Amino acid sequence: MRFAGRTVGWSAGLVAVLCAVVTTSAGIGPVWIPPGIVGKVLLNAVVVPTGISVSGPAVDVTTAHVFSYAVSDLQTQIVMQVRLPRILLGAVVGFSLAAAGTIMQGIFRNPMADPSIIGVSSGAAVGAVGFIVAPVVIPFGLGLRGAAFVGALVAAFGVYLIATRNGRTPVATLLLAGVAIQTFLGAVVSFLLLHSGESIRRALFWLMGHLKGASWPEVTSSVVLVAVPFVVLLAYARDLNVMLLGEEDAQSLGIEVERTKRVLLALSAVITAAGVAVAGIVGFVGLIVPHVMRLLVGPDHRILLPTAALAGASFLVATDTLARSGSAEVPVGIVTAVLGAPFFLYLLRKREVHEL
Amino acid sequence: MSEQPAADDTNPRENRSGPMLDVSGLAVSFGDQSVVSGVDFSVDRGSLVGLVGPNGAGKTTVLRAVKGTLDPAAGTVYVDGEPIRNESAKAVSRLVASTPQGTNLSFDFSVKQTVEMGRTPHLGRFDRMGEADRRAVERAMERASVARFADRPFTSLSGGERQRVLLARALAQETPILLLDEPTASLDINHAVRTLELVRALVGDGKTAVAAIHDLNLAARYCDELVLLAGGGVRAAGRPVDVLTSDTLRDAFNAETLVTTQPGTDAPLVTPLPERDSVDRRVHVVGTGKPAAAAVSTLVGAGCRVSVGVVPSGDTAAERAADLDCERVTVPAFAGIDDAARQHAVDLAAAADAVVRAGEIGDGNSPVVEAGGACIAVETDESAYTSTAHDTVPLTALPAAVASLPPVPEQDATPSLNQSTTD
């Protein structure tokens, strides 16, 4: 009970932090909107269902607004249509990268692992840059995001297949296969960039990671793509703890190690791909946030996974706010790296890095 | 005391008879490389069996096959009569708990969290630890004496403490079978003995245990039976005194050993001997007490055929000679040397390449010393005894001194080296 309380307490605290960061961030921009007004705008948007009417195949849900504060239309417009989609997308991406990073560090038993370690980011890069350089028609209007998402999953699955023999996937092999595939795909991206002509700027901007031009449908689809796997991952948190003892020990404690690894890798690949597909390559979130949260709450994944994900959401929203509030917008990937790398080096010097 | 914890280990299968663990025709190979094959042994419930053998003999491999973490190429492991081959990891982990050779936790779990992981086999995916689980964890920590540092990080513990935490984790699993892989490796003798005493106590409470143990003497002292693995198979199995003999050890380890008895127990004591050219001489030792016993051990270790006498039966030297299967001429203590015994000893001395005198010898043995051709005395603390008539060497130089003597040609009339005593 004490343990569950700790998880709920930390999670609630971090949700509060996230709300504060989102509210503040929504006020920051060319037009400054005080947090009080932003709060009112957000509350005005809250709806509750009041009734359901079924007429033939259509289901109509009537909703009612709970609050109706007096706020100017322009402010509502700026917050709801311009800033909030981007902010929420940033939150989802930060959430997904930090969650996937936590899982990867657990599977690899290595605090230096990050979500892209099995080639997800490189695969997404090939998909995205390939699409930018030579657009192809992708059904369902998925376009760039779709190409990146598919590229990410194909790369991750390829790495997994290469590293698997006789139904076993040793993490050391997985790590090395991931490095090799990342290098290979990096070369492909370089080659594509060389022949990208006019579109090189767009391609580079994507590669640096940014949240520009986010829209509500993107927010919705990525929330779904991240939320479902995340819930399953939470159910695996205890297994992941036991996996930290080493695979041999985990097996003798009743964990089906290979199957568990497969599930965890697949889910975190989907989560990472969902994040990378909409935001490009945003570094360091998936590496640093889990690391810092581990220092704060300890290594137990039942508390570490939700708290790291929530902290990742706040972190990316905050850094993206910095990225867009300068005179010229900077890709958020640059901001996370500029802030993250020195902090990471500080940790590296300060704390003993346990074996690879 | 013995009933209570055993009751906690109750398993639906436990009421059967027959061995708790039965390994039959086990073969394991990594790729084309066969590690072990044809491994058969069984472990009775409530006993401790030690797996011994040289490095790379497959002790850990056999343990891994028993706990189901590797698939054998052939053979079956039966736990309480049921093959575990097709059981899920979870089912096996409720029957067999194990402590690894060492664990490198890279993340800082506390001792209690580590022990709690031992409950994993009993928890469903969405279960929380219940009252029974918490009690099992408490009990396991109590038993392995790690309760007092329950909240310390595992990584802050010493090697011995870590070993006990891992043992506590295995106890929290509440399985009928416990596997220990080198539970005493990297432990000092105090911790090694304490760990094995604990295992012994657990076995006394009804657990069945198999331990891979490097140290032959610890294994001999604490295990009910030993299984000697070497060259990819079982070389010997049975009571320690039957398994640990110079011959089987020479076979298994390719090393010369001296096997005597551990003081205070009847467990064999194995002393490895340095590898060197065997001294092919026949030596007769005259003397009593520890110096003579040491001379006998040293000479046997060096490869000499040794006879002893006349010594009072019950003397240290007589016992050592008996331990090492040397011919000896004994007479009852305080009875004086009778002519038959003296003559026997004189014959042995005459046939030997050298006579070695060590420690106190009575006047009655003078003819025996005289009968030998060359005579070497071993230096003792009471060196006043040393006579200029003989070469006197320290014990360590004894084999070399013997080797430097010319061998006496074998005569047909030499008394046989059969076991013969005159008392």
Q: How many domains does chain B have?
A: 2
CATH of the domain at B120: 3.40.50.300
Chain B CA closest to residue A247: B69
Task: Indicate whether B212 and B340 sit together in one domain.
Answer: no
pLDDT in tens, chain B (423 residues): 333 444 444 444 445 578 899 999 999 988 788 888 899 999 999 999 999 998 888 899 999 999 888 888 899 999 988 898 888 889 999 999 999 876 666 678 899 999 999 999 998 888 888 899 999 999 999 999 899 989 998 888 888 888 889 999 999 999 999 999 988 887 888 888 988 999 999 999 999 999 999 899 999 999 999 999 998 889 999 999 999 988 888 888 888 788 888 888 888 888 887 766 677 788 898 888 888 888 888 888 888 888 887 888 888 888 888 888 888 888 887 777 888 888 888 888 888 888 888 877 777 788 888 887 778 888 766 554 545 456 777 887 788 788 777 776 655 444 444 444 444
Nearest residue, CB atoms, B105 vs list A245, A254, A300? A245
Chain A CA closest to residue B67: A252
In SS3 terms, chain B reads as: CCHHHHHHCCCCCCCCCCCCEEEEEEEEEECCEEEEEEEEEEECCCCEEEEECCCCCCHHHHHHHHCCCCCCCEEEEEECCEECCCCCHHHHHCCEEEECCCCCCCCCCEHHHHHHHHHHHHCCCCCCCCHHHHHHHHHHHHHCCCHHHCCCEHHHCCHHHHHHHHHHHHHHCCCCEEEEECCCCCCCHHHHHHHHHHHHHHHHCCCEEEEECCCHHHHHHHCCEEEEEECCEEEEEECHHHHCCHHHHHHHHCCCEEEEECCCCCCEEEEECCCCCCCCCEEEEEECHHHHHHHHHHHHHHCCEEEEEEEECCCHHHHHHHHCCCEEEEECCCCCCCHHHHHHHHHHHHHCCEEEEECCCCHHHHHHHHHCCEEEEECCCCHHHCCCCCEEECHHHHHHHHHCCCCCCCCCCCCCCCCCCCC
Strands A47-55 and B33-43, bridge-based pairing: unpaired
> What CA–CA distances, in Å, run from B15 to A68, B4, B12, B178?
73, 16, 7, 18
Nearest residue, CB atoms, B105 vs list A244, A252, A294? A244
Is residue B420, in this structure, part of any structural domain at all? Answer: no
Nearest residue, CB atoms, A235 vs list B64, B120, B125? B125
Nearest residue, CB atoms, B69 vs list A238, A244, A252? A252
Is residue B416, in this structure, part of any structural domain at all? Answer: no
pTM, two decimal places? 0.78
Measure the CA–CA gap between B410 and B281, rounded to whole angstroms: 11
> What ipTM does the predicted assembly reach?
0.81
Task: Indicate whether B145 and B289 sit together in one domain.
Answer: no
Find, among A175, A196, A210, the residue nearest to A336 by Cα. A210
Task: Indicate whether B238 and B292 sit together in one domain.
Answer: no
Q: Of chain A residues 89-148, which have a CB less than 8 A from chain B?
A: 109-111
pLDDT at B414 (0 to 100)? 46
Measure the CA–CA gap between B390 and B382, rounded to whole angstroms: 16
Contact B172, B12 (CB under 8 A): no
> What CA–CA distances, in Å, run from B166 to A117, A163, B4, B104, B200?
31, 31, 22, 11, 17
pLDDT at A267 (0 to 100)? 95
Task: Indicate whether B226 and B286 sit together in one domain.
Answer: no
Task: Indicate whether B363 and B238 sit together in one domain.
Answer: no
pLDDT at B10 (0 to 100)? 44
Task: Indicate whether B302 and B249 sit together in one domain.
Answer: no
Contact assignment for B173 to A246 by CB distance below 8 Å: no
Q: For chain B, which residues lie within 8 Å of any Cβ of chain A, measuring from their own Cβ?
A: 64, 67-69, 88-94, 96-98, 100, 103-110, 113-114, 117-118, 120-121, 123, 125-126, 128, 173
Pick out chain A residues at pLDDT < 50.
1, 354-356
Is residue B410, in this structure, part of any structural domain at all? Answer: no
Chain B CA closest to residue A259: B89
Contact assignment for B68 to A251 by CB distance below 8 Å: yes
Tell me which of B87, B93, B95, B117 to substitute to probe the interface with A (most A C-beta atoms closer than 10 Å). Answer: B117
Contact assignment for B103 to A246 by CB distance below 8 Å: yes
Chain A CA closest to residue B116: A242
Nearest residue, CB atoms, B90 vs list A110, A248, A254? A254
Residues of A in contact with B60 (CB under 8 A): none
Which listed CATH number (1.10.3470.10, 3.90.79.10, 1.10.10.410, 3.40.50.140) goes with A94-350?
A: 1.10.3470.10
Task: Indicate whether B126 and B231 sit together in one domain.
Answer: yes
Contact assignment for B128 to A299 by CB distance below 8 Å: no
Q: In what order do the strands lie in the sheet with B82-83?
A: B33-43, B21-30, B74-79, B82-83
Residues of B in contact with A251 (CB under 8 A): 67-69, 89
Tell me which of A3, A253, A255 to substitute to probe the interface with B (most B C-beta atoms closer than 10 Å). Answer: A253
Query: Over the stretch B378-395, which tens digit does the pLDDT of each residue have?
Result: 876 655 454 545 677 788
Nearest residue, CB atoms, A299 vs list B96, B97, B108? B108
Chain A CA closest to residue B106: A354
Instruction: State whether residue A235 sits within 8 Å of chain B by CB.
Output: yes
Expressed as residue numbers, the domain containing B172 is: 7-254
CATH of the domain at B303: 3.40.50.1220
Task: Indicate whether B239 and B307 sit together in one domain.
Answer: no
Chain A CA closest to residue B104: A245
Task: Indicate whether B240 and B368 sit together in one domain.
Answer: no
Contact assignment for A251 to B97 by CB distance below 8 Å: no
pLDDT at A138 (0 to 100)? 59
Phi, then psi, of A70 in degrees rounded to 5: -80, 110
Give B112 to chain A, closest Cα distance, Å.
Answer: 12
Contact assignment for B89 to A244 by CB distance below 8 Å: no
Length of chain B: 423
